[in-house]
Amino acid sequence: MSQETNKDKIIIIDFGSQVTKLIARRIREEQVFCEIVKIDELKKKNFLKNVKGIILSGGPATVTKSKFPQIPSHVFNSKIPILGICYGLQLIAKHFKGKIKLGKNKREFGKMEITKNSNSLLTNNFFKNNKSIVWMSHQDIVYKIPKGFKKIAYTNNSPLTIIENAGKKIYGVQFHPEVTHTIYGKKIIKNFIFSICKIQKNWKINIEKNIIIENIKKTVGNKKVICALSGGVDSSVAALLIQKAIKKNLKCIMVDTGLMRKDEFKNTYKIFKNKYKMNVKIVKAANIFLKKLKDIKNPEKKRKIIGNLFIKIFEKEAKKIKKVEFLAQGTLYPDIIESRSATGSKTSKIKSHHNVGGLPKKMNLKLLEPLKDFFKDEVRILGKSIGLVNEILYKHPFPGPGLAIRIIGKINLQKIKMLQEADDIFINELNKFNLYDKIWQAYAALLPIKTVGVMGDSRTYENLCLIRAVKSEDGMSADYYSFNKEVLDEISNKIINRVKGINRVVYDITSKPPGTIELE
């Protein structure tokens, strides 16, 4: 729950859709405060206080079964405007005695053309010549309109794609207005929150900044806080905000795992020490990490070893600092949403992600998570407003286990150095061609394959370097970046000519899904 329960807000009831988070982002982009809530929370007393609008998200369940996730009837009678999206529409239809069936042929999936039947406050400026393009992902179809509702639009497969009961201020859309593939989806969100819910803009990051700092002061008082500083944007912004609140009572620990990008650890340390005068302690642990990772091939084992070792080192260091009461983490809002279940079912875990977010639970320290209400782009705005350098602010995401999961197979110092060089060349070229900021994440990896080549007059038999660059909004899905040939030529030539031990470079053209962003 947010620290700001007295603010007017829109709530999104989460039925487990993969894109629920995007609804919240779209609303926050309009500078309106909103929260994603679980169905259970609706039972709490006074829960709807300050709620100006309710969005029912999509989800994997179906109302055609005897059991399905529902919301209490009092929510439908609360007179608060409601917008149902996908499963949300079906739930509205079911509640108001419409009819829903399982689509016979197949799922309606992807971009569809939608046609207007009637005007609605919800669809102001949404149709052009009575048509629009929307993104669908559903199987169930509402085929009989619920009582008191009006048909607003249809597609070939869904006769009731948008419906409304303007008197009750209840609206339903079968498609996903929150995804960018729905061309004018933002209009639906804006019309709902401003024209129908009549909420005012009330979410300005710069104002939130002062509230966060005040809250930290109040919570921590004159106690001490420790923070594992990785140099990523989340822990950096969290640490700077805490420093602003409690000054020298913040102690940061930077663990050098030896698995960072070339010179990155050194540079980050310098920034925090010299520019921000932070109280940072370095723990040099590269040798221990390398020793523990010796002969380990399995990616999950690598993650576990790194995660556990990190925790052990951090715990040991933390114990040396006296009178610490709080452990600070750069946990973000998506981390909180993702780590809990919307409807009781856990979404499947693809990889175990070890980072600072998985720090010790047994340390008897209270958690301090100043960014837990914010999305990554909002954290960047916060970071900018407190003077965080661009170098950290716009840094691509980097996995906690670092280069260990970018060296496929066994790891050794020679491979780490080789990869650091290749990766450094790649990133420098992206900067040179002004591409770094257009790409969400880019890196080089080393594959456990040797191939034949020819350099000068000699045959070579050396390592294969893979480069990956993706565009993404939040890392949940991604497309590979389309480079010009000229850029790829330059990257490949430079890596092969300058990095001893690499004689071939390949570009990864896999999207996510079906691939993941990292290789391991």
Which residues are catalytically annotated? 86, 176, 178
Question: Which residue number, 27 or 306, has a Cβ lying nearer to ligand XMP?
Answer: 306
Round to whole Å and give the CA distance between 56 and 43: 16
In whole angstroms, the minimum distance from the beta carbon of 401 to ligand XMP comes to: 5
Residue 156, number of CB atoms within 10 A of its CB: 11
In whole angstroms, the minimum distance from the beta carbon of 518 to ligand XMP comes to: 3
Side-chain-facing half-sphere of 4: CA atoms under 13 Å: 22
Question: Which residue number, 88 or 400, has a Cβ lying nearer to ligand XMP?
Answer: 400
Question: Which residue number, 52 or 380, has a Cβ lying nearer to ligand XMP?
Answer: 380
The answer to whether the peptide bond before residue 397 is cis (omega within 30 degrees of 0) is no
Closest-CA residue to 35 (of 58, 15, 10):
10
Residue 320, number of CB atoms within 10 A of its CB: 10
In whole angstroms, the minimum distance from the beta carbon of 396 to ligand XMP comes to: 8
Question: Which residue number, 146 or 357, has a Cβ lying nearer to ligand XMP?
Answer: 357
**Helices (H) and strands (E) in the chain — how many of each?**
14, 20
Question: Which residue number, 327 or 470, has a Cβ lying nearer to ligand XMP?
Answer: 470
Task: Decide: helix, strand or coil at residue 457.
Answer: coil
Question: Which residue number, 324 or 470, has a Cβ lying nearer to ligand XMP?
Answer: 470
In whole angstroms, the minimum distance from the beta carbon of 451 to ligand XMP comes to: 25
Closest-CA residue to 370 (of 148, 217, 192, 153):
217
Round to whole Å and give the CA distance between 94 and 66: 12
By CB under 6 A, name the binding residues for ligand XMP: 303, 350-351, 353-355, 397, 399-401, 441, 475, 512, 516-518
Structure tokens belonging to residue 210? 């002062």
Round to whole Å and give the CA distance between 454 and 457: 7
Characterize 121-146 residue by residue with b for buried, 16 or more Cβ atoms within 10 angstroms of its Cβ, and e for exposed.
ebbeebbeeeebebbbbbebbbeebb
In whole angstroms, the minimum distance from the beta carbon of 384 to ligand XMP comes to: 21
Question: Which residue number, 174 or 355, has a Cβ lying nearer to ligand XMP?
Answer: 355
What DSSP string describes 116-158? ESS--GGGTTT-BTTEEEEEEEESEEEEEPPTT-EEEEE-SS-
Task: Decide: helix, strand or coil at residue 96.
Answer: coil
Structure tokens belonging to residue 376? 């990554």
In whole angstroms, the minimum distance from the beta carbon of 477 to ligand XMP comes to: 9
Closest-CA residue to 231 (of 393, 381, 422):
393
Residues in the chain: 520
In whole angstroms, the minimum distance from the beta carbon of 354 to ligand XMP comes to: 5
Instruction: Using alpha carbons, list the distances in angstroms from residue 211 to 3, 155, 244, 245.
Output: 9, 46, 12, 11
Residue where the block lists tokens 């998985």: 358
Q: Residue 462: which residues within 8 A CB-CB, separation 6 or more?
A: 450, 451, 453, 501, 502, 503, 504
At residue 249, what is the residue type?
N
**Residue 460, H or E segment:** strand 458-472
Structure tokens belonging to residue 137? 């992902």
Pairing state of beta strands 108-116 and 131-138? antiparallel
Question: Which residue number, 16 or 402, has a Cβ lying nearer to ligand XMP?
Answer: 402
Structure tokens belonging to residue 233? 């944007």
- Whether 479 and 471 have beta carbons less than 8 Å apart is answered as yes
Question: Which residue number, 187 or 395, has a Cβ lying nearer to ligand XMP?
Answer: 395
In whole angstroms, the minimum distance from the beta carbon of 60 to ligand XMP comes to: 20
In whole angstroms, the minimum distance from the beta carbon of 124 to ligand XMP comes to: 37
Question: Which residue number, 275 or 346, has a Cβ lying nearer to ligand XMP?
Answer: 346
Task: Decide: helix, strand or coil at residue 66.
Answer: coil
In whole angstroms, the minimum distance from the beta carbon of 358 to ligand XMP comes to: 9
Instruction: Using alpha carbons, list the distances in angstroms from residue 133 to 114, 156, 185, 392.
Output: 6, 12, 9, 38
